[in-house]
Structure 1
Amino acid sequence: MKTENEKRMQVLDPVDRVSEIIFGLIMALTFTGTISAATAGREEVRTVLYAALGCNIAWGLVDAVMYLIRTLTERTRKHTLLQRIRSVADPSDAHAIIAGELPARLGASIGADSLEDMRQRLLALPVPARARLSQDDYIGALWVFLLVVLATFPVVIPFIFIAETALAMRVSNAIALLMLFAAGHAYGRHAGGVPWRSGLAMMAIGAALVLATIALGG
């Protein structure tokens, strides 16, 4: 049996979950990466850490709101599409609509019998008066927010508990690389590729994105 927490995490697919963690991690690294190991004092480090947390809270909120907007937009599009299929009198017109929504090769190769079967199944679906957000959507938005914010802490904690800034930076960077590798590994496993290669690639891509973001003043 799956726990309630596991069911809620499934509101977001694996790619969404990993993407939000990577986003939050990279945003945090753009702050910790600006700390000077040679000259930074504890007050300066504290200021940077507060800024990193505040930035990720803000972006977590933005991401959560955009998740709801994206979800409602896509649901409205599907609702409109279903209404179109139900409203046409000629089944062949409905077939054309359904085929147009399928991937190009599949839509071109699927037969009329299969399209009619899809049409009948779609006609049997209950149609709400309008598209709307559900409780699961708000739970998904909450997870988006939490994933972005919580991704800040693993790279920030070393600066809290380690007094020597240079050592804290090395530990923080090591944790960040491990998190990037784990994220890439998850991508590779989900895609059916070679997980460890995806992990190494994500480490390289993440490091490059952090350097680019810092260089551009992000």
Structure 2
Amino acid sequence: MKKKPDWSQIVKESAVLAPIDRISEVLFGLIMVLTFTGAISVGTDAREDVRELLWAALGCNLAWGLVDAIMYLMNLIIERGHALSVIQKIHSSRKTENSRQILKDELSPTLSTLIRDQELDHLVGKIKEIPEPGIRLLLTGHDLRAGLQIFLLVFLCTLPIALPFAFIEELELAIRVSNGIALVMLFWGGYLLAQYAGFRKILTAVIYAGIGVLLVALTMALGG
């Protein structure tokens, strides 16, 4: 006998970060720290000032990682609260037409025009098999681990770019090594995205790295 789906299992399965989410988090962190290392190249040559800027970069990305992780968890709560309310509406609906319309409103416009009423009714039946949870447990330990993953992605991606300034005495060489590492990371991020999306890998990687450099330049020009 096939086991009925459980709400806690559905919640757990929906918390996994997609590849595009992971790579995007790294891009955000790279842009943040590159605005600081870019300021080093144009604004200072004193080792003390460089150290202060690096601490500021790490502190900024520490704060950004926390904000990003917390916003991720808050979005999960909102999305799951809405999903739970939809399930409850379908459970309480007595008319097939009403249940069908509730589900159809949750679909994208394109999909809602393609799916047939019989298919909607089948999905409604599957949803009604899901027992309604007695307690609204909208966050799990799995979600908290995903939030921690986001924090680490944003924060740890700054370290390879900042480390040259800590170990290389010659400032100009440290800047070049740091920028080279950043370009490699941007290129690799674009390559992975192209692999995920089925695009041309090298071309997409070059475009991705170029967009990252332009975003950093724009952020610095706007005072970021």
Cα deviations by residue, 1:167-217 (Å, 9 ceiling, x for unpaired): 111111111011111111111111122222221111111001101111111
User: 1: CA distance between counterparts of 2:123 and 2:44?
Assistant: 66
Give 1:50 shift.
0.5
User: 2: CA distance between counterparts of 1:197 and 1:36?
Assistant: 28
More deviation, 137-146/186-195? 186-195
In the alignment of these two chains, the number of paired residues is 209
Could you tell me which amino acid in structure 2 is paired with residue 19 of structure 1? S
Equivalent position of 2:200 in the other structure: 194
User: 1: CA distance between counterparts of 2:23 and 2:137?
Assistant: 28
Equivalent position of 1:157 in the other structure: 163
Give 1:38 shift.
8.7
User: 1: CA distance between counterparts of 2:41 and 2:214?
Assistant: 19
Equivalent position of 2:6 in the other structure: none
Equivalent position of 1:147 in the other structure: 153
SS at match of 2:40: coil
Contact 2:41 2:175 survives alignment (8 Å): no
TM alignment of 1:43-62, pairs within 5 A:
43-62=48-67
Give 1:103 shift.
2.0
User: 1: CA distance between counterparts of 2:176 and 2:25?
Assistant: 24
RMSD: 1.5
User: Which of 95, 114, 132 pairs up with 2:100?
Assistant: 95
Equivalent position of 1:5 in the other structure: none
Are 1:25 and 2:19 counterparts? no
Unaligned runs of 5+ in 1: 1-9
SS at match of 2:41: coil
Q: Which runs of 4+ in 1 moved over 2 A?
A: 36-39
Give 1:80 shift.
0.6
Equivalent position of 2:138 in the other structure: 132
- TM-score normalised to the size of structure 1? 0.91
- TM-score normalised to the size of structure 2? 0.89
Are 1:170 and 2:176 counterparts? yes
SS at match of 2:39: coil
User: 1: CA distance between counterparts of 2:86 and 2:45?
Assistant: 57
User: Which of 17, 20, 24 pairs up with 1:15?
Assistant: 20
Unaligned runs of 5+ in 2: 1-14
Give 1:42 shift.
1.2
Cα deviations by residue, 1:47-96 (Å, 9 ceiling, x for unpaired): 11101000000111111111110111111110011111111111111111
